Structure 1
């Protein structure tokens, strides 16, 4: 069963020379790309390494990346998720671990060995870097911090996880785990989709503390637009994988409404022995019966979806 753990002191693995690591970096006009690629190559110098830059720049980013030793793959479409889909399709067939990171120098490439260590040691299929553990001042504004924590809280609640940073862009996956994941979103919700699908497939998910620095270059995240898309994705995934969670929530809200509206009716009957608010009584009864029915429908839908999933 999938779980989430915080590994405060991961040790560098002993199988370094036998592993092939693929690092994917999506870029769009990144002034720091040379440093990011150089640091990643140096950090992984004891591994069999390939660095793939998926580029959609109009400046000299691809030239710098290629000069630093990266494989540059052009991105013809748009979107964060699409960039990684292009990168995943370019990974060598014999890769063991795939690392995802940004090209704006917010992540410390020298922490890649720490990020992949839980996978190397057989403790995880997916490892996420928790930016909040060692975040430099000014690296994330208050709006993005609150939005991240809100999205992470929703994912934790709906999927029974204990993540601290679900939106991190610094993560590593076992190649066999990556091949098993089914991700379709082209935009920023891709990051959440990966975690949700990994959880649904009972993969082991862990977090490690990482450094998070101020970016070099222009920010690509559109907080309000991307945040709303992420919440939309979460709702769709719950609908498709765990409809009972939605129906149960709605049903409980209806039942709570019936209890609140019916409390006066009950109070009046207990103290005066009569009921004068007939409309309120009917409303309370309808809300209560509606809540029970919604929960029942959710339970039935969950049974049907589970049965269909087992058939596959």
Structure 2
């Protein structure tokens, strides 16, 4: 393959999962580069990364998932990668489907391709309440920019060089996946989806659970509305 592909693996307290995640990626996709971004983990994640000699960034302060992934995008831009792929460190994203989201980007079919578990509805479909929340956010994004995306919270996504550069400059801090779709669409980028099969988290604890799910929904909904209003105000000011 003559295209440079970087897989960005955000890592926060993934001592139970990170080795399997990286080794599965290396076994299935040996031709791609990868970078683990350790976001000030308080467990043994950093030590494990050093022990296995995995390439990784060790952030000096905790930036959250948005800042974590944005560091990966900055790295991809500075090192001239053609495609950047976000793949979670908890084992949910199967590298066997990596090229399913990369190929549409390489073919020029879209600027960002999201791995969706809801197109064919195979594999782990997450909980009922989370599916309700995802449908709500999908509807909000469609209402705000006219773009229909089924799996708006999927962190398994590939971006071309232009989209990667955009995200290296503009990326939401907390739970950024839905906001990234809205921002990309409003900026004129083409967002697509491809069917993938996901697995349950292989170990550890999700950052979104119990009462935090309701907080997440409220926060992201408000953020999407504010983002849309901000874009409209900017366009009005330039007119």
> 1: CA distance between counterparts of 2:121 and 2:49?
27
Q: Does 1:233 align with 2:217?
A: no
Q: Does 1:55 align with 2:39?
A: yes
- Give how far 1:147 is off: 0.6
Give secondary structure in 1 for the equivalent of 2:201.
coil
Q: How does 1:178-257 map onto structure 2 within 5 Å?
A: 178-181=164-167, 182-188=169-175, 190-216=176-202, 217-221=204-208, 222-242=212-232
Q: Does 1:110 align with 2:96?
A: yes
Aligned partner of 1:95 among 81, 93, 114: 81
**Closer/same/farther in 2, CA of residues 67 and 96 from structure 1, 3 Å limit:** farther
> 2: CA distance between counterparts of 1:109 and 1:231?
30
Give secondary structure in 2 for the equivalent of 1:82.
helix
Normalised by the size of structure 2, how large is the TM-score? 0.87
Larger Rg: 1
Q: Does 1:71 align with 2:55?
A: yes
- Contact 2:35–2:57, Cα closer than 8 Å, also in 1: no
Aligned positions, number: 230
Q: Does 1:306 align with 2:231?
A: no
> 2: CA distance between counterparts of 1:63 and 1:135?
36
**Closer/same/farther in 2, CA of residues 105 and 135 from structure 1, 3 Å limit:** farther
For the aligned residue pairs, the C-alpha RMSD in angstroms reads: 2.0
Q: Does 1:175 align with 2:161?
A: yes
- Contact 1:43–1:113, Cα closer than 8 Å, also in 2: no
- Give how far 1:73 is off: 1.4
- Give how far 1:115 is off: 1.1
Aligned partner of 1:125 among 94, 106, 111: 111
Q: Does 1:34 align with 2:24?
A: no
**Closer/same/farther in 2, CA of residues 61 and 77 from structure 1, 3 Å limit:** closer
- Contact 2:38–2:45, Cα closer than 8 Å, also in 1: no
> 2: CA distance between counterparts of 1:70 and 1:309?
47
- Contact 1:54–1:86, Cα closer than 8 Å, also in 2: no
> 2: CA distance between counterparts of 1:19 and 1:70?
22
- Poorly superposed stretches of 4+, deviation over 4 Å: 66-69
Aligned partner of 2:136 among 142, 150, 158: 150
- Contact 1:25–1:101, Cα closer than 8 Å, also in 2: yes
- Contact 1:24–1:54, Cα closer than 8 Å, also in 2: no
Structure ranking higher on relative contact order (CA contacts 8 Å, 6+ apart): 2
Aligned partner of 1:164 among 150, 162, 172: 150
Give secondary structure in 2 for the equivalent of 1:211.
coil
- Give how far 1:89 is off: 2.6
> 2: CA distance between counterparts of 1:309 and 1:211?
44
- Give how far 1:19 is off: 1.2
- Contact 1:95–1:175, Cα closer than 8 Å, also in 2: yes
Q: Which runs of 5 or more structure 1 residues have no equivalent in the other structure? A: 1-16, 244-304
Normalised by the size of structure 1, how large is the TM-score? 0.68
